[in-house]
Amino acid sequence: MVVSKLLGAILVMEIIVMSGTRFGAVDGLRMDYYMMSCPFAEIIVKNTVNTALQSDPTLAAALVRMHFHDCFIQGCDASVLVDSTKDNTAEKDSPANLSLRGYEIIDDAKQQLEQQCPGLVSCADILAMAARDAIFFAGGPVYDIPKGRKDGRRSKIEDTFNLPPPFFNTTQLITMFGQHGFTVQEMVALSGAHTLGVAQCSSFKNRLTKFDSTNDVDPSIDSNFAKTLSRTCSRGDKAEQPFDGSRNSFDNDYFNSLIRKAGVLFSDQTLYTTPKTRGIVNSYAMNQAMFFLDFQQAMFKMGLLDVKEGTAGEVRGDCRKIN
Ligand code: HEM
Ligand SMILES: *[C@@H]1O[C@H](CO)[C@@H](O)[C@H](O)[C@H]1NC(C)=O
Ligand SMILES: *[C@@H]1O[C@H](CO)[C@@H](O)[C@H](O)[C@H]1NC(C)=O
């Protein structure tokens, strides 16, 4: 474990050195962006995240998912954090936000940063750092990310169609992630974020009854696991089903669950059902270090999606309100 983390850290250092050429479009971002202007930014975020997760470890999943939703809609620009107003229904209020949580952690870090270095540290950077720190807290890989993202000025409910729904098959997932520049392998690695957290019954109940014209229950589910899911759903639409046996620990259990046909969402299980991605699932199930390395590289890349720099964005004073 320790060795794989060290190895991961060394490899990521190499990516960082190369990042100027590989991610030319985001030259405005730098690993040491706040070094002079707000040297304690990283520490403040990390301490805030650690304190919050010590009292509620389930929030690690929430932070990781929030960063994903942020980056897939309008780029990583904290648009997911904006509250709706009288004149604008924000992303947050989309049905796709289902159960996003953890906003208070970002607010808490932001308040401390505004006291230390007012107007400097963007909400988008705070969220990116918080997701990164949550992954490490939960036992996942440690890695450094570039900073310097600006916060966006747009957050609209109608933009959230860009998130993948849980009934997508592998072909559809490949297409959607491809549109964001991800390879098939990166898409599978990122799905591995479901090593953390839970889904509500409403996200998978369509697999349990009247699945399609020939099957009542989704044939890709193990029959015992289908019973487990039905038991969960007997407690209502909001009842929670952990994605794998260790909802608060970042590991490769998720991929082992897929091999046992115990994936919770159709979009999880399809990665094993489809021959094109089955080999990748098998590799990650067998080799956690490989999953960690691919995951951290894919997260690094996700954190650069359509990043706003300079005057294309702002540094919000309050993460819930556009300045
Ligand atoms: C591959 C396509 C994906 C689909 C279809 C998908 C869909 C979902 C759904 C439906 C839920 C459960 C929501 C609920 O019922 O409350 C969920 C939870 C979650 N997703 Fe994804 N997701 C995908 C990819 C990702 C990615 C790329 C990440 C992060 C890098 C991610 C992180 C999470 C986490 C951590 C949770 C658990 C949240 C919690 O416990 O609070 N997902 N996802
Ligand atoms: C998510 O959206 C629903 C409406 O679809 C809204 O009622 C709920 O408050 C939103 N959740 C959060 C955490 O913003
Ligand atoms: C995936 O879903 C799309 C849209 O429903 C469908 O056209 C396609 O045939 C499906 N692909 C597979 C391999 O099932």
For 37-67, write each residue's pLDDT tens digit.
999 999 999 999 999 999 999 999 999 999 9
Considering the chain, what is the average pLDDT of its residues? 92
The answer as to whether 189 is a domain residue is yes
The answer as to whether 49 is a domain residue is yes
Both 242 and 125 in one domain: the answer is no
List of residues 6+ apart from 98 with CB closer than 8 A: 200, 202, 203
The answer as to whether 318 is a domain residue is no
Both 10 and 148 in one domain: the answer is yes
Query: pLDDT grade, residue 319 (50/70/90)?
Result: very high
Q: Which of 69, 92, 132, 207 is catalytic?
A: 69
| Count of domains observed in the chain | 2
Model confidence at 164: pLDDT above 80? yes
- With a 6 A CB cut-off, is 269 part of the ligand 1 pocket? no
CATH number of the domain enclosing 51: 1.10.520.10
Both 8 and 129 in one domain: the answer is yes
- With a 6 A CB cut-off, is 232 part of the ligand 1 pocket? no
The answer as to whether 320 is a domain residue is no
3-state secondary structure the chain: CHHHHHHHHHHHHHHHHHHHHHCHHHCCCECCCCCCCCCCHHHHHHHHHHHHHHHCCCHHHHHHHHHHHHHHCCCCCCHHHCCCECCECCHHHCHHHCCCCCHHHHHHHHHHHHHHCCCCCCHHHHHHHHHHHHHHHCCCCCCCCCECCEECCCCCHHHHHHCCCCCCCHHHHHHHHHHCCCCHHHHHHHHHHHHCCEEEHHHCHHHCCCCCCCCCCCCCCCHHHHHHHHHHHCCCCCCEEECCCCCCCCCCHHHHHHHCCCCCCHHHHHHHHCHHHHHHHHHHHHCHHHHHHHHHHHHHHHCCCCCECHHHCECCCECCECC
Both 216 and 125 in one domain: the answer is no
pLDDT digits (tens, 9 = 90+) for 91-141: 989 887 668 999 999 999 999 999 999 999 999 999 999 999 999 999 999
What is the residue type of 192?
Answer: G
91 in a labelled binding site = yes
- With a 6 A CB cut-off, is 83 part of the ligand 2 pocket? no
Residue nearest (by alpha carbon) to ligand 1 atom 41: 62
pTM value?
Answer: 0.91
Both 176 and 75 in one domain: the answer is no
Both 142 and 180 in one domain: the answer is no
pLDDT digits (tens, 9 = 90+) for 178-227: 999 999 999 999 999 999 999 999 999 999 999 999 999 999 999 999 99
Query: pLDDT grade, residue 161 (50/70/90)?
Result: confident
Distance 69 CA to ligand 2 centre (A): 14
Q: Which residue, 297, 263, 296, is CA-closest to 278?
A: 263
Distance 84 CA to ligand 2 centre (A): 10
CATH number of the domain enclosing 193: 1.10.420.10
Both 262 and 247 in one domain: the answer is yes
180 in a labelled binding site = no
Ligand 3 pocket by C-beta < 6 Å: which residues?
A: 169, 171-172
Range of the domain at 25: 2-163+305-312
Ligand 2 pocket mutation pick from 59, 97, 101, 155 by most atoms within 8 angstroms of CB: 97
93 in a labelled binding site = no
Both 69 and 128 in one domain: the answer is yes
Query: pLDDT grade, residue 18 (50/70/90)?
Result: very low
Judge contact between 169 and 270, C-beta under 8 A. Answer: yes
* pLDDT given for residue 13 in this prediction: 47
Both 87 and 131 in one domain: the answer is yes
The answer as to whether 246 is a domain residue is yes
The answer as to whether 284 is a domain residue is yes
% of the chain surpassing 70 pLDDT: 91
The answer as to whether 323 is a domain residue is no
* pLDDT given for residue 184 in this prediction: 98
- Is residue 67 flagged as an active site residue? no
Pairwise CA distance, residues 83 & 25, whole Å: 30
Count CB-CB contacts under 10 A for residue 38: 17
* pLDDT given for residue 27 in this prediction: 55
Both 155 and 183 in one domain: the answer is no
More confident residue, 11 or 175: 175
Both 158 and 203 in one domain: the answer is no
The answer as to whether 319 is a domain residue is no
Both 6 and 155 in one domain: the answer is yes
Ligand 3 pocket mutation pick from 168, 169, 176, 212 by most atoms within 8 angstroms of CB: 169
